Structure 1
Amino acid sequence: MKLLTDTGWVFMRYLRGLLRSPFILVMTVVQPIFWMILFGHVFSSIGSIPGFAASSYIDYLGPGIVMMSTMMSGAYSGMGVLSDYKDGVLDRMLISPINRLAMLLGSLLQDALTLIIQAALMVGVASLLGASFSGGLLSIVQLILIAVLLGLAMGALSISLGLIVRKESSLTAAVSFATMPLLFLSGLFMPLQLVPRWVELIARFNPLNWAVEAGREVLGAQPDWSLVLQHGSYLLILFAAACLLVFAAFRQYQRSL
Structure 2
Amino acid sequence: MSQSISSRNIKSALAPNPAVGGQNNESSNSLGDFIQETLALTQRLFIQLQRRPSTLIAGIIQPFMWLVLFGALFSKAPAGLFGSDLSYAKFLAPGVIVFTAFSGALNAGLPVMFDREFGFLNRLLVAPLSSRYSIVAASTIYIIALSFIQTAVIIFASAILGAGLPGIVGLSAIALIVFLIVLGVTALSLGLAFALPGHIELLAVIFVTNLPLLFASTALAPLSFMAGWLQVIASLNPLTYAIEPIRYIYGHGDWAINSIVMNTPWIGFSFGSVILVLLGFDALILLAIQPLLRRRFA
Task: Please indicate, yes or no, whether the TM-score normalized by the shorter chain is above 0.5.
Answer: yes
1:132 aligns with 2:164: yes
Q: Is the 8 A contact 1:85 1:166 kept in 2?
A: no
- Of 200, 223, 229, which aligns to 2:272? 229
Q: Do structure 1's residue 101 and structure 2's residue 133 form an aligned pair? A: yes
Q: 1:253 — aligned with what?
A: 296
The answer to whether the 8 Å contact 1:47/1:55 transfers is no
Quick one: structure 1 residues 21 and 53, their matched pair in 2 at CA, closer, same or farther if it must change by over 3 Å? farther
CA 1:185–1:201: 2 relative to 1, 3 Å: same
Provide the rounded CA distance (Å) in 2 between the counterparts of 1:80 and 1:58. 34
| Structure 1 residue 161, shift from structure 2 partner | 0.8
Amino acid of the structure 1 residue aligned with 2:290 = F
Cα separation, 2, equivalents of 1:206 and 1:102: 30
Q: How far off its partner does 1:250 sit? A: 2.4
Q: 2:82·2:222 contact (CA, 8 Å) conserved in 1? A: no
Runs of 4+ in 1 over 6 A off after TM superposition: none
Does the CA-based 8 Å contact 1:163-1:250 persist in structure 2? yes
Q: Are the structure 2 counterparts of residues 190 and 51 from structure 1 closer, same or farther at C-alpha, using a change threshold of 3 Å?
A: closer
Cα distance in 2 between the residues matched to 1:121 and 1:54? 25
Structure 2 distance, partners of 1:42, 1:120, is 24
Aligned to 1:4: 35
Match of 2:283? Answer: 240
- Equivalence map 1:1-257=2 (5 Å): 1-49=32-80, 52-98=83-129, 99-133=131-165, 135-219=166-250, 220-226=252-258, 227-254=270-297
- Residue in 1 that maps onto 2:266: none
- Percent identity, please: 26
| Unmatched 5+ stretches in structure 1 | none
Rate the CA distance shift 1:243–1:50 in 2: closer, same or farther, 3 A: closer
* Deviations 1:41-81 (CA, angstroms, capped at 9, x unpaired): 21233352367244311011111111111011111010110
Which whole-Å CA distance do the structure 1 matches of 2:81 and 2:123 have between them? 61
SS for the counterpart of 2:163 is: coil
Residues 164-206 of structure 1: CA deviation (Å, up to 9, x unaligned): 1132221111111112111111111111112212111111110
Residues 246, 80 of structure 1: alpha-carbon distance in 2 compared, 3 angstrom cutoff: farther
* 8 Å contact from structure 1 (residues 153, 239) kept in 2: yes
Contact 1:47 1:54 in 2 (8 A): no
Query: Structure 2: 5+ residue runs without aligned partners?
Result: 1-31, 259-269
Aligned partners of 1:115 and 1:65: how far apart in 2?
Answer: 12
The separation in 1 between residues aligned to 2:201 and 2:115, in whole angstroms, is 16
How many residue pairs get matched? Answer: 254
Bigger relative contact order (CA 8 A; separation at least 6): 1
User: Which structure is larger by alpha-carbon Rg, 1 or 2?
Assistant: 2
Verify the 8 A CA contact 1:81 1:159 in the aligned structure 2.
Answer: yes
Cα distance in 2 for partners of 1:55, 1:254 equals 50
1:243 alignment partner AA: L
Q: Report the structure, 1 or 2, having the larger helix content.
A: 1
| 75-84 or 161-170, which deviates more | 161-170
Tell whether the 8 Å contact from 2:90 to 2:247 is kept in structure 1 after alignment. no
TM-score where L is the length of structure 2: 0.79
Does the C-alpha gap of structure 1 residues 101 and 55 become closer, same or farther in structure 2, counting only changes over 3 Å? same
Contact 1:15 1:110 (C-alpha < 8 Å) held by counterparts = yes
